[in-house]
Structure 1
Amino acid sequence: PVARVYHYLNQAFNHLETSRKDSAAVSLDRATILLADLLTKSSSGFSGRKLSGLVWVTLELSRDLLPPTSPILPESTLHYLLTVLPDSVTSHIRQHPYYAEFWIRKLAGSADVPVDYRPEVLENIRYFLTNGRDVFKLWLSRSGVFTPLIQEALQEAGLPQDLVYKAMIESGFNPRAYSRAGAAGLWQFVSSTAPLYGLKRNFWIDERRDPEKSTHAAIRHIQHLYKLFEDWRLVIAAYNCGQGRLSRIMEKSGTRDFWELHGLPRETRNHVPRFMAALILSKDPEWFGFTDVVYRAPFSYDLVAVSEWIDLSLAAECAGASFESLKALNPELRVGYTPAPPVKRVYHLRVPAGSKERFLTNYARVPAHRKVQMVEYRVRHGDTISGIASQMQVSTRAVMDANGIHNPKRLQVGTRLKIPIRPGRQYVAKRNTLGVSPDESSHERHTYRVRKGDTLWRIAKDEGVTPDQIRTWNNITAPRHIFPGDRLVIWQPKGGNPDTPLLGNFYLVRPGDTLWEIARDFDTSVRNLKKWNGIRHASSLKAGRLILVRPLEENAAD
């Protein structure tokens, strides 16, 4: 067998000398198959050094026959040879000038999308092995969480599974990643593109950050791009710079070859080779020296249906998990609370796998005073997060978490904050100092012009006062007697922090208040107040209690 290997190698060399490359390729394939068979037989009787010499020559001849940028495909004899090399041979040829190149080409050839062996790709591989090594190691670690999820979705859609590395390059497998351009999530959707593929974004959630929803959206986007360009290199480029821009560049360049396009943005020009480099490295990270990567566990969870606001800290306690782990399972949540679902609908919260029953059992036992409701507060001049929190008698962290605030110094006048309160809790009632003649040294007066559709309730809520106060200041003797164009006097404390017991749909009972007076002030009935707040006897009303004075569903209409 060795003699035949020598014969075919010599034959391939002679064909190359006479520029008969096709004949040389046939002879080299025969030699390579025979050599690979010898290497797989442990009892061949030949020393590792002798076989290494034959492999060395085979690699030399193969280099002359391979197209410069082509990968080594799985069906090729060279791919087979590289795959079956035993350690005894590898140790001798590891320093061969073409061994590393061929191994990289072999990995490129195993991909189910085109991967080219080009200087731009090699440059990115070098970067990830040097300056970017720690970053790539982190990406590999995170890949354990999301690769199974994404590849399963790609397979169901009939797309190449190696497109999973597009998410790696886009976000480093970080669902909370944000770019300078405002793109978010694993697949880096911008706010203008996300709705086109069904991703929602509001105060409570950003579905661009949800691994499953964003992956299915990305698949639909990729399918659309492939129908347009029919080349995976161009699809990856268009995903980065936009289909319209790439189409114009292709038309101007007069080619569909990505590597020959002129005028590509620098980021896009580097994006495609970086994707290819990440794919190659991820195919065999240990070969490239990533031997100490700790891969994180796959994304796994139970779903629980909730029909009310839930503080994630409380949810984590009920599930027997940490707050951070619950946030990691629910990255679409922008604040530290679940959204209030629409009427007769639910929100599906993820809890750690195996904890569903524990969560449901524990949450059913949570007393009402530990559950939250959200009330609205409009920021005024002089307000601070800590001041608002103090006034509302909640923690500063609770206000920041409920509103996704990271920098409390960036509070803007007019912003409507959600304040998490617990209706069953006893609050310290504050005496209302704004009477008929407020102290002008501590309060300031301004005028509000009534608009069409305004009610005393809405105006009072927006201004942080009560309807009764507005009636007193403006001599309004009957409820609802306001008309568009009317100018109403409003008094507020200077420097913000209005001293008012009105908190969104809730009212903080003051000393001396009665249900009849509260019902009159808020244009409702004593019967409704009792029903909404579970009050059996009017005499049980105590100062400091937070009661509902308007149905919660009306708040959604506002």
Structure 2
Amino acid sequence: MLLLSGCATVGQDTHTSQPTGFDRPVVETTLPKSAKQRPSLPAGPLSALGTATTSLPAVATLAAPSDLWDRIRRGLAMPDLDTDLVRSREKWYTSKPDYIQRMTARSSRYLFHIVEEIERRNMPMELALLPFIESAFNPQAVSSARAAGIWQFMPATGESFDLKQNVFRDDRRDVLASTRAALDYLQQLHNRFGDWHLALAAYNWGQGNINRAITQNKRKGLPTGYTDLGMPMETRMYVPKLQALKNIIAKPEAFGTQLPPIGNHPFFDTVTLDRDMDVSVIARISGISEQDFRALNPSLKHPVVMAAGTPNILLPWESAAVFHSELQKHNGPLATWTAWVVPTTMTAEQAAERVGMNVRELRNINTIPPRMLVRAGSSLIVPRNGQRNSDVSMHVADNGHLSLQPEMVLRRASVRARKGENLAQLANRYGVSPVSAAGWNKLAVNAQLKPGQRITLMLPQRTAGALASSPRKTGREESSPSSVRKTVANSKKSPQATQRTASKTKVAANAKKTIQP
């Protein structure tokens, strides 16, 4: 009887999993009422129990959403904001369907990863929409305040969250690193203010500013909610923009908007490198274009990936398997570029000669402007050869920098125009940029000049000193470099002229401010 009693209680326990709000499949098993009752013992010998059958219902499952938008809707959890600014932003977004299409097309590469990270941290899914507000999901976006990447990190804030910024890479644009840093920062802000709307305002305006605004309201006996604080219009519009997007995505049909479908599956996979590799080699092995590779790895600035600094790269999901397979068959160098630390301060021409490289290519690949010296300790991208054929060290990959200084000091000089001359012609005569000359004088580039009209130029110190020391006789003499040299040479014949020239040169040198381009 004890045996029979034990067998009869197997079907009594039932379990129902509660939906989580995310995409995890929920398994729900329910037995019918008759199955919960103790069954009557069958007639016949005890051995007949071994062949008895039990009829159970099929397992019911809650399928994961196939569309990422549906997954996002399930996780929306912030309190709603209902203001006129929200309705204004709703009208703005719905009036620009092309803009929404472009934003969502860019987001399709990165959104799945962001949603996964937000779910893992149990944060509200509205945060997945924040890059729409910050950068329209453009990883190359740079603000006027130098914030960069899809999460728009300022340089100092990025450094505080371990986002490397050097001559080789900018982790503020890295999809994985910047998402990790942004969610860390938002969690920190929410812990401080205890309110998601205030946390978002602090993300935009700075936590110090929000804290001061709260303190001011407390002193006046005023409420301290997001809508109660005094703040700049950009921050005042920040949460309404997010709320408007949230409303549109939650019910697109109510706004007459059609969202491009985004599959609820990974767009990219992470591949680990143990050797430096050229971007062109990675793209060719993976079967993708360099443009597509850089779209997933926007932090990289140069044509080589340094394994010591960037050990993980992102590839389209299907291409990652192709990369692993084809890499085994690859025959040839993996990298043709490396980093070289400049031993002494030198010109770009000297550096190019030292590494056996065309000077124009050296300037272009390392972004070295004309008339600038490369200072000692700078890191340059150069071709590999017999002397430089090893992978870049971790120290250089993480700390590489480019430091420049002018080849010569420029001084302000006043020159006179010739008859029939315009500003561009005068600038070319003195070997300076017409655009720069226009900026210095607040004139149009092709502005027509009057004969003898004075124009300010920034010239090399030697030429400027000659102009300052030469006697001011005629506009033609003063505006001609050859006549300047002739006048200075003739003045050496007379002691009185030499004394006057030296005095003028000293006064002029003391009066002019040295600037660097």
Q: TM-score, normalised by structure 1?
A: 0.49
> Which ranges of structure 1 fall in alignment gaps of 5 or more residues?
1-106, 426-461, 463-558
2:292 maps to which residue?
325
- Give the SS at the match of 1:213: helix
- Give the SS at the match of 2:312: strand
Per-residue CA deviations over 1:275-305 (Å, capped at 9, x if unaligned) read: 1112112223354333374759965334333
2:459 maps to which residue?
none
1:260 maps to which residue?
228
Distance 1:176 1:296 in 2: 24
Aligned positions of 1:496-507 closer than 5 A: none
> Which ranges of structure 2 fall in alignment gaps of 5 or more residues?
1-71, 388-403, 405-517
Contact 2:266 2:317 in 1 (8 A): no
Q: 1:297 to 1:315 in 2, by over 3 A?
A: farther
Please point out which of 152, 163, 169 is paired with 1:188: 152
Distance 2:347 2:317 in 1: 46
Please point out which of 74, 79, 90 is paired with 1:114: 79
1:129 maps to which residue?
94
**Counterpart code for 2:331:** V
Aligned positions of 1:138-287 closer than 5 A: 138-254=102-218, 255-262=223-230, 264-287=231-254
Distance 2:334 2:75 in 1: 59
- Give the SS at the match of 1:192: helix
Contact 1:399 1:420 in 2 (8 A): no
Contact 1:176 1:184 in 2 (8 A): yes
- Percent of aligned pairs sharing the same letter: 26
2:357 maps to which residue?
393
Per-residue CA deviations over 1:201-241 (Å, capped at 9, x if unaligned) read: 22222222122222121121111111111111111101111
1:413 maps to which residue?
373
Per-residue CA deviations over 1:369-404 (Å, capped at 9, x if unaligned) read: 96333334589787489x949983359568644x3x
Distance 2:254 2:370 in 1: 48
Distance 1:357 1:205 in 2: 26
Once the two structures are TM-superposed, the CA of residue 351 in structure 1 deviates from its matched residue by: 2.8
Contact 1:125 1:278 in 2 (8 A): yes
Contact 1:389 1:396 in 2 (8 A): no
Distance 2:75 2:119 in 1: 17
Q: 1:248 to 1:138 in 2, by over 3 A?
A: same
Q: 1:392 to 1:112 in 2, by over 3 A?
A: same
Distance 2:384 2:344 in 1: 21
Contact 1:204 1:333 in 2 (8 A): yes
Q: 1:277 to 1:357 in 2, by over 3 A?
A: closer
Once the two structures are TM-superposed, the CA of residue 245 in structure 1 deviates from its matched residue by: 0.7
1:478 maps to which residue?
none
Aligned positions of 1:398-547 closer than 5 A: 400-401=364-365, 403=366, 405=367, 409=369, 412-414=372-374, 416=378, 418-423=380-385
Q: 1:298 to 1:267 in 2, by over 3 A?
A: farther
Per-residue CA deviations over 1:46-75 (Å, capped at 9, x if unaligned) read: xxxxxxxxxxxxxxxxxxxxxxxxxxxxxx
Q: 1:417 to 1:220 in 2, by over 3 A?
A: closer
Q: 1:152 to 1:398 in 2, by over 3 A?
A: farther
Q: 1:239 to 1:283 in 2, by over 3 A?
A: same
Aligned positions of 1:9-20 closer than 5 A: none
Q: 1:361 to 1:137 in 2, by over 3 A?
A: closer
2:331 maps to which residue?
366
Q: 1:248 to 1:311 in 2, by over 3 A?
A: same
Distance 1:388 1:378 in 2: 13
2:54 maps to which residue?
none
Q: 1:296 to 1:316 in 2, by over 3 A?
A: farther
Give the structure, 1 or 2, with the largest relative contact order (CA under 8 Å, sep 6 or more): 2
Contact 1:145 1:296 in 2 (8 A): no
RMSD: 3.7
Q: 1:224 to 1:373 in 2, by over 3 A?
A: closer
Q: 1:110 to 1:226 in 2, by over 3 A?
A: closer
**Counterpart code for 2:340:** V
2:32 maps to which residue?
none
Q: How many residues align?
A: 311
Q: 1:223 to 1:258 in 2, by over 3 A?
A: same
Contact 1:313 1:323 in 2 (8 A): yes
- Give the SS at the match of 1:355: helix
Q: 1:411 to 1:245 in 2, by over 3 A?
A: farther
Distance 1:369 1:223 in 2: 41
Once the two structures are TM-superposed, the CA of residue 350 in structure 1 deviates from its matched residue by: 2.5
**Counterpart code for 1:421:** P
Contact 1:308 1:339 in 2 (8 A): yes
Distance 2:291 2:243 in 1: 33
Distance 1:410 1:242 in 2: 38
Distance 1:371 1:309 in 2: 9
Contact 2:271 2:315 in 1 (8 A): yes
**Counterpart code for 2:229:** L
Distance 2:114 2:334 in 1: 41
Q: TM-score, normalised by structure 2?
A: 0.53
**Counterpart code for 2:143:** S
Once the two structures are TM-superposed, the CA of residue 312 in structure 1 deviates from its matched residue by: 0.2
Distance 2:90 2:357 in 1: 55
**Counterpart code for 1:206:** D
Contact 1:108 1:116 in 2 (8 A): no
